Amino acid sequence: MPPRWRPRLTADVPRDLVQVAPGVHVATSAVYTTTSTVVVAADGTCLVVDPAVTAREVDDLAATIRARGWTPVAVWSTHAHWDHVLDGPGLAHLPRWSADVPTTDRETLAAERDADPELAGSGAPPAPIAAAATRYPQRSPGVLDWPGPTVQVLVHAAHARPHTALFLPDAGVLVAGDMLSDMEIPLLDLSADDPVDDYVRGLALLESTGADLVIPGHGHVGTDLSRRAAADRSYLSALVAGDDTMDERCALPWTAAAHGAQRAAVGR
């Protein structure tokens, strides 16, 4: 199916909130090219997904939402890694929703945040860790109960357990969390019994949406869902086989380190 709406795609990382599809806006941090997504209903009601990364960026996001006259009803965390559970004074009054209550406590997440070399290298004060999320309200199984457009909640075990993606069928948009990135290789949950199988299943679930537009948690918005999924499967196949990967996404310092760890843990 051709894209229903052609977004303005750029290779750089706009830090302002940019509309990428009707009612879907994305801001991008210089730290890990992390995206924050805001889903906005026609009446201005909005859902904030994964606000990140520095304290200034989260404050700016909240200020922009306020300046545009939108009314946030909640903050969604795609998964309970430190860079997806961040907060700020402008958002702290909102409920935090996710697919499940995270098991990692705030002190541990804050320690992981403070030990992060990319964030430390930015020199910017980090955003605080939010209070633990609660399970999201459901209109029907797997569908978010909120006043905005239909949001289907896709839960899987790739990268983190649980990990959620949000599919917006009206706009054809998939808010993918830490999946389907054009910059990051598949990052496995190496504590799982079979992290590669979990990842392949998660990819299949996301690809089954047939989304026109993908918003990765780190990287650039794209119209190439199938190509990204194929690249991820190709990386995983080479990893399992112990073959050298030709995946150019391994060139970043953090992806190179992750690839080495994954190769040691999974590769034959």
What residues make contact with Zn ion under the rule CB under 5 A?
A: 81, 178
Identify which of residues 81 and 96 has a Cβ nearer to Zn ion in the complex: 81
**Cβ 219 to Zn ion, closest distance in Å?**
13
Q: How far apart are CA 152 and CA 110, in angstroms?
A: 30
Minimum CB distance to Zn ion smaller for 60 or for 178: 178
Q: What angle (nearest 5°) sits at the alpha carbon of residue 216, between those of residues 99 and 47?
A: 50
Residue 207 C-beta: closest distance to Zn ion, Å: 19
The nearer residue to Zn ion, 25 or 81, going by C-beta atoms, is 81
CB of 178 to Zn ion, least distance (A): 4
Q: Would you say 222 and 181 are in contact if contact means Cβ atoms under 8 Å apart?
A: no
**SS3 category, 108:** helix
How far apart are the C-alpha atoms of 245 and 226, rounded to whole Å?
19
Query: Which CB sits closer to Zn ion, 40 or 75?
Result: 75
Closest approach of Zn ion to the CB of residue 90, in Å: 23
Question: Minimum distance from CB of 159 to Zn ion (Å)?
Answer: 6
Measured at the alpha carbon of residue 196, what is the angle toward residues 194 and 197, in degrees to the nearest 5? 70
Q: Using the minimum distance from each CB to Zn ion, give the nearer residue, 22 or 162.
A: 162
Closer to Zn ion by CB, 148 or 164: give it: 164
Residue nearest to Zn ion (CB): 81
Q: What is the nearest approach in angstroms of Zn ion to the Cβ of residue 66? A: 28
Give the closest residue to 127 by CA, choosing from 219, 27, 4: 27
The long-range contacts involving 126-129, CB below 8 angstroms and separated by at least 24 positions, are 126/53, 126/54, 126/55, 126/86, 127/51, 127/52, 127/53, 127/54, 127/55, 127/57, 127/58, 127/86, 127/87, 127/88, 128/55, 128/86, 128/87, 128/88, 129/82, 129/85, 129/86, 129/87
